[in-house]
Amino acid sequence: MKNTLKQVFRSANFRIGFIIIVLILLLITIYPIFSPGNPLQMIGYDSFIPPGLYVSLYDSLDVPRIYTLRLEGADQIRIYAKLRPTDRELIRDWLLLYSEYNEVFELRKEDINLEDTEALLGLWWTYFDPEIRFENLTIAERRAFARLDTRIDGIFDLYDKYIWTYNPETGEQELVGSVTNLAYINVSDVTNVRLLPLGTDNFGRDMFKQLVSAITTSLAIGLIAGLIATMIGLVLGLLSGYLSGFVDDVIMFFTNLFTVIPGIVLLILISYSIGQEQRGPATVAIVIGLTSWVWTTRSVRAQVLSLRNRDHVNLSKLSGHSLPRIVIKDILPYIASYVVMAFILQVSSAILAEAGLSMLGLGPRTTETATLGLMMNWAMRYTAHLSGAWWAYYPVILVIALISFALNLINTGLDRVFNPQLRD
């Protein structure tokens, strides 16, 4: 046993897969300790908040200390953030249009240097007039110019920002302080800071927290479904392979039947018939398990058939040992590795099956728990991909692929140990 384990760990494939799974398991056990609470709590008022470190604006106003830092390039960064390359091109477009429109004003495309911010803005502020209506310009395009103008208004100004508060006694606004362009605060001084590594989804729920909880649920679904499928497959495969005759024929008839009838169709029909309200994660796992035992049955049966006439089994039979004893002592140990491999495959395909079902709207009922499939379903339903909210679906796809990848790696690693033919 110890020797086999050593051999298994010598396979690079197995090691990599094992490490990925261990890391995922660590994540789902440790993260909830540091970030407790309901993963489906809606914390955001907006949908699809991008990933980032969020700092409370309100609390940052009365931090104990304000630092004055003269950081090089801070102005450029500020200007760049307000005036992106696309904005510069927009300015150029307007100026060129204006040059066509106004016969006195002559400007060629080459004359405009997009990098020279001051010259560019100088031209803009001199000539831009929202009242001018160029031909062939849609309303949206005209508004884009107007919006740009308001946005870059005062871009070079470095006036202090003033903070006023309402005094309930006097009923008046009072000046309490000002913020210069050199004022900085230390983030650790701000009481309310929240890291949203993956932003939020359309309901304003913390994506990362939700993802961690979804991995837990999906893995649980995979394990339950895998266990059920493996148990059924093992029992049927053992019976069919060892008993042969009529029992074998009946079992193999159903196995072959459910091999060709697509599992997804059964899943869809059963899940739909159960109804949305009755479908919890456990029900979904059971349904998946009940429809995916055929592969295990096949491989267990094949293994048992090849073992049935081995000397040690015959010896056991001649010694008058009972059927359960022969199966447990003389057959099970020899097929254990295959059963483990089949189980791993079952887990990975059950996770994928749940995802597929949920995409169709037949997964676990929503709003109580998150699963990887449900997260995908929500992202697609609220068209995250059309709003550019990559954080709402790419991490989920990556996690599904990683789990499946890792389990497959583990399996190929095991396969190479137990099927020496593949080794080299």
User: Under the rule (CB under 8 A), what is the footprint of another protein?
Assistant: 256-257, 259-266, 268-270, 272-275, 348-349, 352, 355-356, 359-362, 376, 380, 385-386, 388, 390, 393-394, 397, 400-405, 408-409, 412, 421-422, 424
Residue 94 buriedness (CB in 10 A; 0-12 / 13-18 / 19+): buried
Task: Please say which residue, 80 or 253, places its beta carbon nearer to another protein.
Answer: 253
Residue 131 buriedness (CB in 10 A; 0-12 / 13-18 / 19+): exposed
Give the Cα separation of 328 and 154 in Å (integer). 83
Task: Please say which residue, 135 or 277, places its beta carbon nearer to another protein.
Answer: 277
Q: What are phi and psi of 178, to 5 degrees?
A: -140, 160
- In the complex, the smallest distance separating the C-beta of residue 424 from another protein, rounded to whole angstroms, is 6
- In the complex, the smallest distance separating the C-beta of residue 200 from another protein, rounded to whole angstroms, is 19
Q: Within 13 A of 106's CA, how many CA atoms are on the CB side?
A: 1
Contact 419, 20 (CB under 8 A): no
Task: Please say which residue, 152 or 236, places its beta carbon nearer to another protein.
Answer: 236
Specify the amino acid at residue 373: G
Residue 144 buriedness (CB in 10 A; 0-12 / 13-18 / 19+): middle
Coil vs helix vs strand at 361: coil
- In the complex, the smallest distance separating the C-beta of residue 407 from another protein, rounded to whole angstroms, is 8
- In the complex, the smallest distance separating the C-beta of residue 294 from another protein, rounded to whole angstroms, is 9
- In the complex, the smallest distance separating the C-beta of residue 74 from another protein, rounded to whole angstroms, is 31
- In the complex, the smallest distance separating the C-beta of residue 317 from another protein, rounded to whole angstroms, is 25
- In the complex, the smallest distance separating the C-beta of residue 283 from another protein, rounded to whole angstroms, is 13
Give the Cα separation of 338 and 91 in Å (integer). 68
Task: Please say which residue, 83 or 294, places its beta carbon nearer to another protein.
Answer: 294
Task: Please say which residue, 320 or 420, places its beta carbon nearer to another protein.
Answer: 420
Task: Please say which residue, 83 or 236, places its beta carbon nearer to another protein.
Answer: 236
Q: Which residues of 23-49 are buried (b: 16+ CB within 10 A; e: fewer)?
A: ebeeebeebeeeeeeebbeeebeebbb
Q: Within 13 A of 324's CA, how many CA atoms are on the CB side?
A: 0
Task: Please say which residue, 316 or 348, places its beta carbon nearer to another protein.
Answer: 348
Which residue's structure tokens are 């399996």? 411
- In the complex, the smallest distance separating the C-beta of residue 333 from another protein, rounded to whole angstroms, is 25
Task: Please say which residue, 38 or 383, places its beta carbon nearer to another protein.
Answer: 383
Give the Cα separation of 28 and 20 in Å (integer). 13
